């Protein structure tokens, strides 16, 4: 296989703070795009979307540089950056994710979710999550690890249940797999295009590592959660957990995971294909 678990772990480092409020359901209806956009804005997810282009472009470029079989010149790097701007254009990502969420959320669920986000506990959790996105990752992990070491077992268990209910490790695993597979696909396509499986086929192969990757990410992310929600009371965390485990909560995170995964995979596939064209030899003159 072109991608190893270690590669996935490396790519996952940049994504840990893109977990925000990833919450979930199985939708039976649709809502207006404007309602979906308002819900994504209120939950903090639109801010995450706006931060994705630069993050993905930089990490994908780094991944390509680490592919030893893919020599890339400075001029190609410049052209690649322009391709990244197109593939990960913020308004395009926004439109795709808003559309996907609008098709998977019912009106009743959207109303319940927006009501919770307007509650005292909801506003506090959003503030804590917003602060965490700008924190230094290594420092957050160190502080969170120290907090976990002296935290009562029941409290630590509650925090892990919250993390698992949010499905954040799954979300980051999907991001990491998409990045690693796209980089490997681009490298292999540029060097021996006739022997490379389809992008979708590579993703299926990488999925075999997914369970291990989710566990690995969760082992680190629990420290991030301890740091993020340090100022939340057990009662507030219990309220948040109740939302995540509710029908509207499960619906929203299902919708978000599907929307982000499909949108990012499409953009990375587009970027990978563009690089292949960049590396393709010019046609011979007759």
* Residue spans per domain, the chain: 5-279
The closest of 205, 196, 201 to 275, measured between CA atoms, is 196
- Would you say residue 121 has pLDDT above 70? yes
At residue 13, the pLDDT reads 46
pLDDT digit string, tens, across residues 139-184: 999 999 999 999 999 999 999 999 999 998 988 888 888 777 777 7
Cα–Cα distance, 273 to 260 (Å, whole number)? 20
Of residues 66 and 162, more confidence is placed in 162
Question: Cβ atoms within 10 A of the Cβ of 224, count?
Answer: 23
- For a pLDDT cut of 90, what percent of the chain falls above it? 37
Cα–Cα distance, 100 to 262 (Å, whole number)? 9
257, 101 Cβ separation under 8 angstroms: no
pLDDT digit string, tens, across residues 18-29: 444 343 333 445
Cα dist. 285→166, 208, 281, 282 in Å? Answer: 57, 45, 12, 9
- pLDDT band at residue 204 using 50, 70 and 90 as cut-offs: confident
Phi, psi of 131 (to 5 degrees): -65, -35
255, 101 Cβ separation under 8 angstroms: yes
Lowest-pLDDT range of 97-106, 174-183, 190-199: 190-199
User: pTM for this one?
Assistant: 0.78
């Amino acid at each position: 296989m072109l991608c190893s678990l270690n590669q996935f772990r490396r790519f996952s480092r940049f994504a840990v703070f893109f977990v925000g409020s990833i919450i979930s359901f199985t939708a039976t209806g649709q809502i207006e795009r404007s309602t979906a956009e308002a819900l994504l804005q209120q939950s903090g997810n639109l801010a995450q979307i706006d931060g994705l282009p630069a993050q993905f472009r930089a990490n994908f470029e780094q991944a390509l540089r680490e592919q030893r079989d893919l020599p890339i010149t400075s001029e190609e790097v410049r052209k690649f950056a322009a391709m990244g701007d197109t593939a990960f254009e913020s308004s395009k990502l926004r439109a795709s994710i808003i559309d996907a969420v609008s098709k998977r959320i019912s009106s009743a669920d959207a109303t319940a979710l927006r009501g919770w986000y307007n509650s005292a506990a909801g506003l506090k959790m959003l503030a804590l999550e917003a602060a965490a996105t700008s924190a230094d990752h290594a420092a957050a992990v160190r502080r969170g690890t120290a907090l976990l070491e002296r935290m009562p077992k029941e409290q630590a268990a509650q925090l892990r249940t919250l993390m698992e209910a949010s499905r954040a490790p799954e979300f980051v695993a999907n991001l990491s797999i998409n990045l690693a597979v796209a980089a490997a696909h681009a490298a292999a396509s540029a060097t021996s295009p006739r022997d490379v499986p389809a992008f979708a086929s590579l993703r299926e192969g990488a999925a075999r590592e997914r369970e291990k990757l989710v566990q690995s990410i969760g082992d680190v992310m629990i420290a991030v959660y301890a740091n993020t929600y340090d100022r939340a009371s057990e009662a507030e965390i219990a309220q948040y957990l109740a939302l995540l485990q509710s029908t509207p909560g499960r619906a929203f995170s299902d919708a978000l995971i599907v929307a982000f995964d499909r949108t990012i995979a499409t953009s990375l596939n587009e970027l990978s294909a563009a690089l292949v064209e960049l590396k393709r030899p010019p046609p011979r003159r007759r």
